[in-house]
Amino acid sequence: MKPAPFAYTSPVEREEVLSLLSEYGGETRLLAGGQSLLPLMNLRLARPELLIDLGRVRGLDEIRSDDGWLVLGAMTRQSSLERSALVARSAPLLACALPLIGHVATRSRGTFGGSLAHADPAAELPAVLLALDGEVVAKSVRGERVIPARSLFLSALTTALAEDELLVEIRLPLAPKRSAAFIEVSRRHGDFALIGAAVSVRLTDSQVCENAAIALCGVAEVPVRREELEGALIGRRLTDDDVLREVSRLAAVGLDPAGDGHASARYRRRVAGIVVARALKRAASQPRLAETA
């Protein structure tokens, strides 16, 4: 298949991007990594009149810490994040998730902001953003706004970003003393996750949980935060097998995933509990991961 005819531009300044978005609105699509958009265009499921390539736009690929936040440009390549010592120290959950995304070749093109804007319910990075209570910064000719992760994802492949907005920045709270793990189940390495669990915890020296954050991908049209389970873990030792069995049972309660040709709803619900328990156990077995990475 070939895409429908479209106009193409590759601006250098973000102001030019914002002007084009304001002028063309819904007839425009933004090209970040292209891992998802180009196949959709080739299948003619996406038919933009204008394709704006963000690859040359200045200032969208930085990695820095600022006033308690890890600040990541929306066009930062996933491979750059994977190699970053600052990311490993400051956001260990993100560091755990990155190697699970596709393959080396796809991560060399894929971007953090592109994954969030695409909002695939099976993707790892939206679950990471949600688990870490992150936020994104969007800009348009009308101004700037900050969108918390809890408000960003509306449904499958749909976000709260307006048609004339450009996602420019992702902010994650610095977490230098937390342990983390991301575990997923897929048919083959690099395939989309059937179920994934993002876990970030703060532990005492005896592996007792002081604070926990848990998010799931692949169980609904958006990533799902399990706050009731997080509260139940406070004061519990995460290396205790009885605790992990209880976690596995509770994690599946209330989930209503859809079944498809890859996995049934019953399978996804059962495996959700298993991957959450395994992720917690892995995080507890590596309590100094964030400090030594």
Average pLDDT over residues 126-146: 98
- Domains present along the chain, CATH in parentheses: 7-53 (3.30.43.10), 63-173 (3.30.465.10), 179-288 (3.30.390.50)
Per-residue model confidence as pLDDT tens digits over 46-69: 999 999 999 999 999 999 999 999
pTM score, two decimals?
Answer: 0.95
Per-residue model confidence as pLDDT tens digits over 224-245: 999 999 999 999 999 899 999 9
Q: pLDDT class for 1, splitting at 50, 70, 90? A: confident
Per-residue model confidence as pLDDT tens digits over 205-230: 888 999 999 999 999 999 999 999 99
Angle between helix axes 265-285 and 241-252 (nearest 10 degrees) is 150
- Maximum Cα–Cα distance for the chain, whole Å? 61
Q: Which residues pair with 209 in a beta bridge?
A: 203
Q: Which residues contact 260 (CB under 8 A, 6 or more apart)?
A: none
- The yes-or-no verdict on residue 192 having pLDDT over 90 is no
Phi, psi of 166 (to 5 degrees): -115, 125
> Comparing 105-109, 221-225, 285-289, which segment has the lowest mean pLDDT?
285-289
Q: Which residues pair with 184 in a beta bridge?
A: 196
